[in-house]
Amino acid sequence: MSTEQPLRVRERLSEVRYEIRGELNRRAHALEAAGRKLIKLNIGNPGAFGFRAPAHLQRAIVDHIDHTDPYTHQLGLPAAREALASAYRARNAPHVDSDRVFVGNGVSELIDMTLRALLNPGDEVLVPSPDYPLWSAATILNDGRPVYYRCAPDNGFMPDPVEIENLVSSRTRAIVLINPNNPTGAVYPRELLERIVAIAARHGLLLLVDEIYDQVLYDGAAFEPLAPLAGDHPCITFSGLSKVHRACGWRVGWAILTGAPSRTADYRNALDLLSGLRLCANVAGQYAIAAATGGPDTISALCAPGGRLYETRRAVVEACAASGHLRLVQPRGALYAFPSVVGPAARGFDDHAFALELLETEDVLIVPGSSFNVPYHDHFRVTLLPQAETMREVFVRIERALDRRAEAATKVVPLKSRNAAA
């Protein structure tokens, strides 16, 4: 008797969304295989748009390549961890030493690891909406429950501390912050961060702060690192080489555990255990860490007027301002813009259907806004990594598609036809 049944997958995977590399991306691959030339704005992947990691980081790896064959310490290369500890002490992060620095295969691995060390089944994590969806996915897959606090467009995508505190329950374990924010480009002011730290302190919650875009800032936006504000309160800061240093494929990220050692010792040891279970992170890329933390600033010029990222951002801002269909909260940091659709084109608008239509008819791949765990369906995300002229062309195509939708929404059915239908 045959028992050839399909393999069952984990049930909780049905709760996980990651449209950045999901169904639309698979359709894009199929169209490319058929010979279509697409403009793909779904992933913040600098190398795919012609950016290169700085030469001094590349040299650091080449100069040490003969030392990259063995496993290293489970937390990361000692010299790399000491370089990170020194860099974060220079930012006034408290209680930082190399034994509280964890190097991972990108920030993604470390997000999963830190939540695995924290959560018991049913525990809750306060996550921004919109969020980078890995935070929701990692919470779910570690048997937790994401509870969303709103970062509303009409508030500049800033969270409301009162709402955050009202969401705290007996099962809440942590608050996630993404600053500068992906997907919105919001940069949080010091006073807001201080209020969120106070909430975490009142309720004994771990602060998990994704600062991967900490130096990608526009128009004088000021970045405030969270760890110095948290002081003795437990906090983990995540960053890496992928964005500021344009080295996504090297898969080098880090997590810095701060706060009073007496309050974090058990958690630190849990992270040590989980680090050992995966043996170690990619060794070759770790040799670039000291060069990155102690080397020249190669990102600020790109974000200043005349710089490539700044000028592409300018192209998006101007295109949205000139459009009758789009509204944009200007991004002040990070590598993305998160426009909304307004007016007649927004009637019955579905962001996923529009993204598919744009892909099929205009050869442009975007990410639907609802993929970032928001309850509305009128936003979409684009990355700011293409050249400015490419982005201007993208928004010509977006405007054309929205013109069609607006025309269809406002088309009046003749009275004779309505009477016949009745």
Domain of 176, CATH number, reads 3.40.640.10
Region 185-197 average pLDDT: 98
- The 10s digit of each residue's pLDDT in 199-251 is 999 999 999 999 999 999 999 999 999 999 999 999 999 999 999 999 999 99
- The 10s digit of each residue's pLDDT in 19-31 is 666 788 889 999 9
- The 10s digit of each residue's pLDDT in 241-289 is 999 999 999 999 999 999 999 999 999 999 999 999 999 999 999 999 9
CA triple 321-24-43, angle to 5 deg: 60
Dihedral through CA 91, CA 95, CA 96, CA 97, nearest 10? 150
Among 9-13, 47-51, 72-76, 338-342, the minimum mean pLDDT is found in 9-13
173 and 258 in a single domain? The answer is yes
211 and 271 in a single domain? The answer is yes
Number of separate domains in the chain: 2
Average pLDDT of the chain is 93
Region 410-419 average pLDDT: 56
Whole-angstrom distance, CA of residue 405 vs CA of residue 362: 14
Q: Is residue 418 part of a domain?
A: no
324 and 380 in a single domain? The answer is yes
335 and 212 in a single domain? The answer is no
Residue at a domain's end among 260, 294, 328: 294
Region 138-148 average pLDDT: 96
Instruction: Go through 332-351 and write b for each residue having 16 or more CB atoms within 10 A of its CB, e for each that does not.
Output: bbbbbbbbbbeebbbeebeb
- The 10s digit of each residue's pLDDT in 53-83 is 999 999 999 999 999 999 999 999 999 999 9
72 and 184 in a single domain? The answer is yes
CA atoms lying within 13 Å on the CB side of residue 222? 5
Q: Residue 2's pLDDT is what?
A: 58
63 and 86 in a single domain? The answer is yes
> How many CB atoms sit inside 10 A of residue 389's CB?
11
Q: Is residue 79 part of a domain?
A: yes
104 and 253 in a single domain? The answer is yes
